[in-house]
Each structure stands twice: as structure tokens, then as C-alpha cells.
Structure 1
Amino acid sequence: MKNIFRISLLLLCILYTSVLLAAKVDTVTTFSAAMHKEIKAVVITPRNYNSKSRLPVLYLLHGFSGNYSDWIKKDTGLARLTDEYHMIIVCPDGDFASWYFDSPVKAGSKYETYVAGELVSWIDEHYSTIASRKGRAIAGLSMGGHGALFLAFRHANTFGAVGSMSGGVDLRAFPKSFGLDEVLGKYSENPERWEKNSVINMLYLVTPNQLDITIDCGADDFFIRYNNKLHEALLERNIPHDYTVRPGAHTWEYWSNSIRYQALFFHQYFEKNN
């Protein structure tokens, strides 16, 4: 009888603790004046979030063919990171294949303006945030890995740290894939657009120690050779960064593991700067 009581008490304690540690997951609707439409995002706040304490924000981007709900649906443990590291996580919508830049050919695809400008302003207005680059990081997987680096390189006054997981960092290598011709035009007809918007060609925008940078990719990922080249190019320019190659491919199993390392990296950045 005593053993049954102890087990019951233990189960109650576990249940009580899980309730206390429950982060809050909201789906919010924002408006993009640049695209003249409403856009959804997931916002995850830690259990002890309140308006009296300002928190850092991690913007977490989805991949090609995904949407704002991908991260929270496919990585069921993601929300716990907000409690563990006392940060807000925002998962924006980047459309099916926006690649997170303002398209020169597709009307209504201005996701650089939206994510780096309109959404950041909306989050700072509606949540208690550290509203400066010292309190903002951006990361993403695949298309979102490219997008995170692209946006951080071009908006280093907005984001202080950046991470890419399995990022498609050289668009030129995939001229007929991932919807790229829909947002850039055909590579054969508009090579300069592909050159200009490939992250691997944008390192001239980055100065040493301007951003805290972490990049990783699975050893069996089809993007690995391009991530290796990006790593080498960063080394040549003496730009400090973390670069990790782990076992794995272009899968959610890999990304669900990777985000835990990147969240720790961003937590350390926030701790150092706030």
C-alpha cells in the first residue's frame, strides 16, 4: 500500500512539474504592408513570461515547401527550449519557396522586408522583448538556413547572431530545383540575380566579429559540399564562426537534434550581451 502511495505521489509530482514547465504556444496573425496580406506565425513564450521582464528572441525559419507551423509540429520538444533558455521563439511563414528575399520577379513575395522589418517590429510591439540586435538571433533549416544567413548578413543592425542548419547556401547549384526560378527567373537568363542572392557570394557584407555565427550540416546531406565551401570562405576572410558536421542527412531527425546545439549557442550570445 505504501509503495502504491509513493508511486502515485511521484506521478503527481511529475505531472505538476510538467505543467509548471509548460511553455505557451500561440499562432498569431500579422500584416505585411509590403505584400498587402495577413501572414501567420507561431510565437512560443516561456512559462514565466510576463510584461515586466524583457526577453531575447530567436527567429526560426522553415524550409522549402514548409510553413510557419513546421517547427512546432515536427519537433515536439521545441517549446521546452524557451523555458530552458528563457527566450521567445518566433516561427515566421516564409511561403512555399520565397527563400526569404524580396523577389525581383514574383509579385507579392517580399519576405526579406517582412521578416527582417515588419515582423520584427510587430513582435517588439506585442511582446516584452530586448528590442535590439543584442536580443535577436535568427536561424533556420535548408531554405531557412539560407534565409537566416541572408537576412543576418544584410541586416546586421537587426540581428546579432545567426545559425544555419543544412542551409542551401549556393543557389546556383540548383537552377531547376526548389522553386528558385519562380522567385529569381531562369538562371540561364538572369545569372546575376542568382549570383547576388547566393549567401556564399555575400561574405563581403560581413566583417570579423560583426555577427556570432553557427553553421552545421549532416555528413550525408546533399548540401554538405556547399556548406564546406562556405566554411572555407569564412576562414579565408578571418570571420569567426562555429562549423559542425554531424552524422545525418536532410531530415527532421537531424534538425531536431541540431536546434538544441544552436539554441545553446544563442543563449550564450544573449547571456554575453545582455
Structure 2
Amino acid sequence: MKPIRSLNRLWFLGWLWLLGWVGLSGTAAVGQAVQTPTEPLPGKTDAMDYGVFHSASLGREVPYAVSLPPSYRTSPERRYPLVIFLHGMFNDERDWERRGVQAALDALRARGQVGEFIVAIPRGENSFYINARQGERYEDAIVQDFLPFIEQRYRTLGTRAGRLMAGISMGGYGALLIAFKHPQLFAGVAAHCAAIFTEVPRPPQGADDRIGTWRYGLATKLYGDPPDPEFFDQHSPLTLARRQAAALRQLKIYFDVGSEDRYRFDVGNQRLHETLESLGIPHEFTLASGGHGWAFLLARSEAAFGFCWRTLASSLRAEPAKALKKKP
């Protein structure tokens, strides 16, 4: 048991050194992360719902948040497109509201730049939203448990054309992974500063290799100890793009990353852009001035939500009658 504890300790210390913030999508100092409020936000407001769903894949209740469009509570006959949004590491479903994303979406709607759709945010812990080699099955929790739950509980369109995956950092990776693996379920995907690794992380090159320690510790948690290259490839957006090229040509794809991303995820995102280009897969990619995290997402909110709305609005044009049909 000592080697396992030692590895976990190295991994944890690597995180503390490398992050210096609340996590892969946070901006607060490490000391503030300990003080992150654990009390839930109000269970229901005009814009937000907070609750839990049962995940058979995880064997427990999982918290979630839902952003409701302005007319949702006053127009019970309407049904709406759905965005599933995945948060980053050391964040949770409440960060959508408290980091200002809901306010940004409200402002875009007030200016008439985007229309109405539901956003559902499940709590993903630090899972990277995969079915881990030696851990929990978060991909299944999203696809098999959360999506059906949301579409049964809320008035969604319930069609591929009316669904979109999105996420930030770890969640950007998760959104690409799930959309690329299940393109039959989603019309599109939008990812911000996605945590894309270009190769299997290798063991650290000595005690001073802090970045290597962090990357390798994370890889052993997700892809096996030691990391299994084949399993890594099965969960790499770069590999999935090549294996799923024909299907991905029918998927609307948007992703952006900051040119000053402190984790150098600009490298992985640019590699994905080059891969998609070489395969002739249409997509929108922006390397923008900025760093990593929620501030970058807010700076890109007009372009990103504009993409989401353009993609989902086609579902309303294609099935206008269903959009107004009462859900049984």
C-alpha cells in the first residue's frame, strides 16, 4: 500500500504546485479553494433549478443544475432545445451561475443575439467524464442516466437535432469525448480550453519535474497504472476524430482556446484543429488572446452561445410543431 500512497501524494502535491488556482477552470487561489461554499444555491429561481438525479452507473445520487429559458415557467406548452454543459476540475454545477455564465447568457438573450434553450449541468467531480480504467463510469452516467433524466423531467425536444454538448477545460474535453463517441445523439459540440493531451503522459523525469508528476498522476487515475496507451487512444479526441471521421462530418463542432493557456492546452487544441482539417471535417476553431478558465469563456460567450443557438435553432425550423407540443 505504501507505493500507492506515495503516488497519490506526489499527484496531489503536483496539483497544488501546478494549479495555483481552484482548478483547471478556476481562477481563485489555492487557499480560497478550501473555502469554496458547500451550501447549495436556492433550489429554484426564475432562471435556475438545482436538484439531484440517481445515477445507476455510479450507484448514487448526483447533484445537477438546470438553466431555464425565460418563458419556461410561463409557457407550459413549449418544449426547448437542450445543451448539456460539463464543468472543469475542482468546480461543480453551481459555478455556472456563480461564475457569471448565466448572467452572460441572459445579457445575450436581452440583446436578441441568442434564443431560448435549456442548459443542464451535472456534477462531474474530477472525473474527466470518462469510464475510467480503474474507477467510476462518468461517461455512462452522462449518456445513460443524466440525459434521459433531464429529458423526462424537463420539456426538451428530445431529438438529436435539439441536443448539444458543451464544456470548459476538463469539461471541454468531456464534451468533445462524448459528442465524438456518440454523434448519433447530438447535433453539435462546443468546447472551451479543452484539456486535450497529445500523447500518453510519461513518468516524471525526477523529483523536480512537477508538470510531469501532475500529468502522470492524472493519467494513472484515468487510464490505468501504468497508463494503457490503447485505452488512452480510445478516449482521445484526436484518435476519435480519425476513427469517427464519417460520422463527425454530420456534427457541428466549435472549440476555442487561449493563446496564453497556462496549461498549454493550446497545443492540443491546435492539434485537433489540424486533425479535423486534414480529415475534411467542418468545424469552427479560434485561438484567441487570453488564458484558461471562466474569464476566457465569458470573453468568448457571444461567439460560443451564438454557435450553440445557430446549431439548435435548426431543430426549431425542422420541427416547429414538436417544439410547441405538450410533453405527456
State the shift of 1:189 in Å.
Answer: 4.8
Larger RCO: Structure 1 or Structure 2 (Cα < 8 Å, ≥ 6 residues apart)? 2
2:221 pairs, out of 177, 182, 197, with 182
* Partner residue in 1 for 2:15: none
- Written as runs of structure 1 = structure 2, the 5 A alignment for 1:24-103 is 24-49=47-72, 50-75=75-100, 77-78=103-104, 80=106, 84-95=114-125, 97-103=126-132
What's the CA shift for 1:174? 4.5
How far apart are the structure 2 equivalents of 1:155 and 1:220? Answer: 31
Hey, what's the Cα distance between the residues in 2 that align with 1:78 and 1:180?
34
CA contact (8 A) 2:167 2:173 kept: yes
Structure 1 range deviating more: 206-215 or 161-170? 206-215
Question: If the length of structure 2 is used for normalisation, what is the TM-score?
Answer: 0.71
Q: Secondary structure at the match of 2:300?
A: helix
Equivalent residue for 1:147? 174
Give the percent of matched residue pairs that are identical in Structure 1 and Structure 2: 27
SS at the partner of 1:217? Answer: strand
Cα pair 1:138 1:161 within 8 Å, conserved: yes
Q: Residues of 2 paired with 1:59 and 1:94: CA distance?
A: 12
Write the distance in 2 (CA, Å) between the matches of 1:119 and 1:66. Answer: 18
- Give distance in 1, aligned partners of 2:184 and 2:222: 26
Match of 2:4 in 1: none
2:194 alignment partner AA: G
> How has the CA–CA distance of structure 1 residues 241 and 65 changed in structure 2, closer, same or farther, with 3 Å as cutoff?
same
CA contact (8 A) 1:167 1:227 kept: yes
1:14-36: per-residue Cα shift (whole Å, max 9, x none)? xxxxxxxx852111210001111
Contact 1:71 1:78 in 2 (8 A): no
Which letter does structure 1 place at the counterpart of 2:260?
Answer: D
Q: Aligned partners of 2:60, 2:227: CA distance in 1, in Å?
A: 30
Aligned to 1:238: 280
What pairs with 1:1-16 in structure 2 (closer than 5 Å)? Answer: none
TM-score, L = length of structure 1: 0.85
Off by >3 Å, runs of 4+ in structure 1: 81-84, 171-176
Equivalent AA in structure 2 for residue 33 of structure 1:
A
- The DSSP-based 3-state class of the residue aligned with 1:60 is strand
Partner residue in 2 for 1:15: none
Aligned to 2:138: 111
CA distance in 2, matches of 1:227, 1:180: 18
Is the Cα contact below 8 Å between 1:72 and 1:78 reproduced in 2? no
C-alpha deviations, 1:150-190, integer Å up to 9, x for none? 0001111211110111011226364543633212223x452
Deviation at 1:195, TM superposition (A): 2.2
How far residue 66 of structure 1 moved from its aligned partner, in angstroms, is 1.7
Cα 1:98–1:86 change in 2 (3 A) is same
Contact 2:65 2:94 in 1 (8 A): yes
1:198 is aligned to 2:236: yes
Query: Offset of 1:196 from its aligned partner?
Result: 2.0
Is residue 137–residue 162 contact of structure 1 (8 Å, CA) maintained in 2?
yes
AA partner of residue 55 (structure 1): Y
* CA–CA separation in structure 2 for the residues paired with 1:68 and 1:257: 20
Q: Which range moves more in the overlay, 198-207 or 77-86?
A: 77-86
What does residue range 220-231 of structure 1 map to in structure 2 within 5 Å?
A: 220-221=260-261, 222-231=264-273
Note closer, same or farther for the CA distance 1:173–1:223 as it changes in structure 2 (3 Å cut): farther
CA distance in 2, matches of 1:162, 1:150: 10
2-structure distance, mates of 1:214, 1:156: 14
